[in-house]
Amino acid sequence: MNTGRSVITVVTALILAAVAIGHADDTGDLAKAAQNPVANMISLPLQYNASFDWGPEEGTLHVLNIQPVWPFSNGKVNFINRTIVPVVQQPELAPGQGSEFGLGDITHTLFLSPAAPSPFTWGVGPVLSMPTATDDRLGNDTWSGGLGAVGLAMPGQWVVGALVQNLWDISGDAEVNQFLLQYFVNYNMAGGWYLSSAPIMTADWNADSDQRWTIPVGGGVGRIFKVGSQPINAQVQAFYNLEKPDAIGDWSLRLQLQLLFPKGG
């Protein structure tokens, strides 16, 4: 656990240092855009996740998700490209096996969303997972694809919505049938601060019923600020698993720094 604590300490220190030197400056609309998965804004989230007491040796699973978002528009439809590149440090799954560090499977989603403003924002599109893992333990070792959808509303100081997707094997190399649901509830306050709850629920439909679901609950706090002229979104959230497979621990931690590139910013 010492290595895990060291990584978490370093990442937390970087986020706290960025928040300390940053300043809030007209962040209301920017906060809502940062919390909108289909916003027409370029961004680069760097999201670190730590899952504690993971595996039979009860180690810490470290995952750094590099998640560039690159939208473009034809004036009627926004095309939101979202890529997740996971860098994983996985503790050993069996005695003597050792830990594994490397690249996981890269996932790309293309959301199509109406460009016209609306009280309810939605997007839908294909999801593709590529067998880029550097070790079989870090990925599915097959091409898989499916559909994703997102919907949200932004009444007053709130941003509330959900993202859902399911992936199936499309190459015949493995059995993949994986479900993901992430709801998000954000309440924006003065000075760029906001409260957030955005747990990621997953299900492996091929697993036994008592090993199928991971259902976390929790939340945390974040802030939109600027370092010089660069807008940044920083947040920390903690989650407790109400339901989980045996190999997964009770608690997880999420730390994120997101570089924002609004148009005209």
Per-residue DSSP letters for the chain?
Answer: -HHHHHHHHHHHHHHHHHHHH-B--S-HHHHHHHT-TT-S-EEEEEEEEEEEEETTTTEEEEEEEE--EEEEE-SSEEEEEEEEEEEEEE--SSTTT--EEEE--EEEEEEEEESS--SEEEEEEEEEEE---SSGGGS-SS-EEEEEEEEEE--TTEEEEEEEEEEEESSSSS--EEEEEEEEEEEE-GGGEEEEE--EEEEETTS-GGGSEEEEEEEEEEEEEEETTEEEEEEEEEEEEEE--TTS-SEEEEEEEEEEE-TT-
Q: Where are the domains of the chain?
A: 2-261
177, two tokens: 């049938």
pLDDT recorded at residue 1: 44
Tallying the residues shown for the chain, one arrives at 265
The pTM is what? 0.91
Low-confidence ranges of the chain (pLDDT < 70): 1-7, 10-11, 13-28, 264-265
Percent of the chain with pLDDT strictly greater than 70: 89
**From CA 135, how far away is CA 139, in angstroms rounded?**
7
DSSP β-ladder status, 193-197 and 77-90: unpaired
pLDDT given at position 54: 92
2-261 belongs to CATH 3.40.640.10: no
Q: What is the pLDDT of residue 18?
A: 61
